[in-house]
């Protein structure tokens, strides 16, 4: 499958000799730096191709000396999922410092487009090599991202994307597909039982929630049309409010057989379910794996948690920023974030 490659690996010097130029010239060609005659470029390129030469990353990293700085722009507040991402970045401390990388956490109100845009604009002069941002999809945010990109900073969007911007990469899941997955699971687990389906979200104005709702409705309409979907209620991701709303729905509709929580506030929803004594009859699906959802899965109140792996997202963001900064290729397959279906027996 792989040739053992007995000869000791080639170096820049070997390429230089073969192309009849100096080290510095090969380096220039390798990094598309100006000031090399087209003909020379060609000769060097040929030598590189011919040997399928790969510069030694460790040597490159050492020689350039300068440490790299990344910034993570994250929401203020106690969103457990975001806190997990931060925690995983924290766990990478040793890994990061052994590579002379630093990550700075910048907390801001990512839900206010002008505040978020301002935070990003501030980073434009801050000579960051890369920025990861939990981005609201809004024209001023898009503009701020594009400015950052133009200033030479690598930008990845995290969890929530701005597809119309020129960000280099998006680290997160396809939320429409996540909503579809939720819909398919509710429908399949409800099975033959007739009844109604309740759905609660944080707010419809967040792109990820809106997309999940869209995907969910799509599947319900096309495949489980015998089930009636109740009008969506908005719990603002808060436990108390979610609990009240769901209590109300449960009181009004004794024939609810399925319940989908699009955002946070799962603890409140679960409380309403158990206080009504209907946690065993109603198929309950929510997002994200937290201490709370884990407990609810184990005790059977929650049937499925749909999640994205926060550790994977944190590490993927750092790796992608690093690869972009080094102009290395990205292992796309590796950095893709999957939609995890978690049930009691496959909890990580």
Partner DNA sequence: TTGAAAGCGCTAACAA
Partner DNA sequence: TTGTTAGCGCTTTCAA
Binding site for DNA (CB under 7 A): 8-13, 20-25, 27-28, 30-31, 34-37, 39-40, 55-56, 59-60, 62-66
Name the residue among 340, 337, 302 with its Cα closest to residue 317.
Answer: 337
Which residues in the chain belong to E strands, given as ranges? 68-75, 101-108, 130-133, 154-158, 169-171, 196-201, 228-229, 233-234, 256-261, 283-287, 304-307, 340-342
Backbone angles phi, psi at 175, to 5 degrees: -75, -25
Compare residues 45 and 236 and give the one whose CB is closer to a copy of itself.
45
- Position 291 contacts a copy of itself (CB under 8 A): no
- Give the tokens for residue 96: 């990061």
32 binds a copy of itself (CB under 8 A): no
88 binding partner (options a copy of itself, DNA, none; Cβ < 5 to 8 Å by kind)? a copy of itself
C-alpha distances out from residue 2 to 5, 10, 12, 40, Å: 8, 17, 23, 32
Residue 25 vs 84, nearer CB to DNA: 25
Q: What is the Cα–Cα distance from 234 to 202, expressed in whole angstroms?
A: 5
Q: Hey, which residues between 142 and 161 contact a copy of itself (CB under 8 A)?
A: none
Q: Are the beta carbons of 230 and 249 closer than 8 angstroms?
A: yes
Report the partner that residue 277 touches, choosing among a copy of itself, DNA, none (CB closer than 5 to 8 A by kind). none
| 183 sits near a copy of itself (criterion: CB under 8 A) | yes
* Cβ contact 30:64 at 8 Å: no
The distance of closest approach from Cβ of residue 47 to DNA in the complex, given in angstroms and rounded to an integer, is: 12
Give the binding range for a copy of itself (CB under 8 A) out of 138-146, 159-167, 225-233, 330-338. 330-338
Round to whole Å and give the CA distance between 260 and 221: 15
- The contact set with a copy of itself (CB under 8 A) reads 1-2, 4-5, 8-9, 52, 54-59, 61-62, 67, 86, 88-95, 97-100, 102-105, 177-178, 180-181, 183-185, 188-189, 191-193, 215, 219, 303, 309, 311-312, 315, 328-329, 331, 333-334, 336, 338-346, 348
């Amino acid at each position: 499958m792989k040739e053992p490659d007995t000869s000791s690996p080639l170096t820049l010097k070997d390429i230089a000799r073969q192309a009849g130029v100096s080290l510095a010239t090969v380096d220039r060609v390798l990094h598309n730096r100006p000031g090399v005659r087209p003909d020379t470029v060609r000769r060097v390129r040929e030598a590189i191709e011919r040997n399928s030469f790969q510069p030694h990353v460790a040597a490159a990293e050492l020689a350039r000396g300068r440490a790299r700085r990344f910034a993570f722009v994250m929401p203020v507040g106690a969103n457990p999922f975001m806190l997990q991402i931060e925690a995983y970045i924290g766990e990478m401390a040793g890994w990061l410092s052994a590579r002379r990388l630093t990550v700075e956490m910048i907390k801001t109100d990512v839900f206010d487009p002008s505040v978020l845009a301002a935070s990003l604009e501030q980073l434009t002069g801050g000579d960051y090599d890369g920025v990861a941002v939990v981005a609201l999809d809004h024209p001023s945010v898009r503009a701020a991202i594009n400015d950052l990109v133009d200033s030479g900073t690598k930008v990845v969007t995290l969890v929530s994307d701005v597809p119309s911007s020129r960000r280099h990469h998006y680290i997160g899941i396809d939320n429409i597909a996540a909503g579809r997955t939720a819909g398919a699971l509710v429908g399949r687990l409800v099975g033959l039982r007739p009844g109604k389906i309740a759905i609660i979200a944080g707010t419809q104005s967040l792109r990820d929630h809106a997309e999940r709702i869209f995907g969910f409705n799509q599947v319900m309409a096309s495949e489980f049309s015998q089930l009636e979907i109740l009008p969506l209620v908005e719990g603002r991701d808060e436990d108390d409010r979610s609990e009240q709303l769901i209590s109300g729905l449960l009181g009004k509709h004794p024939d609810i057989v399925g319940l989908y929580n699009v955002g946070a506030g799962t603890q409140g929803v679960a409380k309403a379910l158990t206080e009504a004594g209907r946690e065993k009859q109603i198929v309950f699906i929510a997002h994200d794996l937290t201490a709370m959802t884990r407990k609810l899965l184990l005790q059977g109140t929650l049937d499925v948690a749909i999640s994205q792996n926060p550790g994977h997202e944190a590490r993927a963001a750092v790796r992608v920023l690093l690869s972009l900064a080094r102009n290395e290729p990205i292992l796309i397959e590796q950095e893709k974030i999957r939609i995890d279906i978690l049930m009691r027996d496959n909890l990580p």
